[in-house]
Amino acid sequence: MKKIVIQNPNLNHGELAGHPIELSPESALRRQELIGKRLAVQVSPLPGEGLPDLFLRAVIRNGYQLSSTAWRLLPGGTYRSVFAHRNFVDLHFDDQTMADFLGTPTGAADVEPLRYSRLSNGVFSFFGAATKISNLAAHRRVSPRFLAQSGYQKAIWSFLPIGFDPANREYLLDRCPVCNVELMFGPTLGLCFCHGCVDPNDPTKGIVDLREHPQELVDLESYENLDFACSLIDPALDAKRDATRSLHPDLRIVERGQIFEFIAIIGRLLDEADGNRGLTSVSPSSLHNATAAVRDWPSGVMEVGDKISRCLEASGL
């Protein structure tokens, strides 16, 4: 009989090391009752994970190299060739079914806050913040430093307007530093490895460890505005926070996701005015300046608007 370990939920090494770990006697009993219905190795949500990240971690912990293989094991699951955060909007599986399949300790309550729900055409709820579905990356982006320290993937990395990890401010890596293949959700050799660089003697083993390729850190004189912008959207922070209460009264009635969208639009215009067109993410400097302008509403936005207009006119746009 396996020994069940009752461990502090704040200690993640047991969960990530793959050992049987339970948060309470109730969760131990629940997982025991789910044998035959859940994956062999269960998972518990970790801070900042989205449902796609949790699902991918479960796939890897259970030894699958293709997410589609595990997907077909879900009750009612069909073949799915593409896996990314965008594909988890409007899932037809209910919270309880997904929680039981993954073996999460509490059940539906574990999955419900991680679910991406469509709010309107092209708009969904990202941990309570309304934002565009097009803001979700179709591929993986990772912070090698965070992977080395914590060992799991965060949902905020999939949010395209932000190109760095809000906690350590490391620029995100989205291609293998060796073979340059785009990191994907479907085929996998582990969260920390490139799926394209394979050991010739063992097709299940990756040979490029992303943790060994740390990226540069964002370098600004002040990070206050970056932290404010990220606080509007980062699920690793308290979802009940009211980051907009420090804004001008005109803006306090606007939902935090919409405030971030406003900041991102200004940031992209600033990048374009500086000649940086076609960037996947808003540059940190433009995100800083755009946030500063919104926090100094209305004069700040008027000033930055004048700058954008002058630069675009000078470039003939």
What is the chain's mean pLDDT, rounded?
A: 86
How sure is the predictor about 316, in pLDDT bands with cuts at 50, 70 and 90?
A: low
9-39 residue pLDDT tens: 333 444 555 444 566 788 888 888 888 888 8
191-211 residue pLDDT tens: 999 999 999 999 889 999 999
Average pLDDT over residues 247-273: 93
pLDDT of residue 21: 54
pLDDT of residue 259: 95
Q: Check whether 317 has a pLDDT greater than 70.
A: no
8-22, 108-122, 161-175 — which one is most confidently predicted on average? 161-175
Q: Check whether 7 has a pLDDT greater than 50.
A: no
Alpha carbons 8 and 82: distance in angstroms, whole number: 36
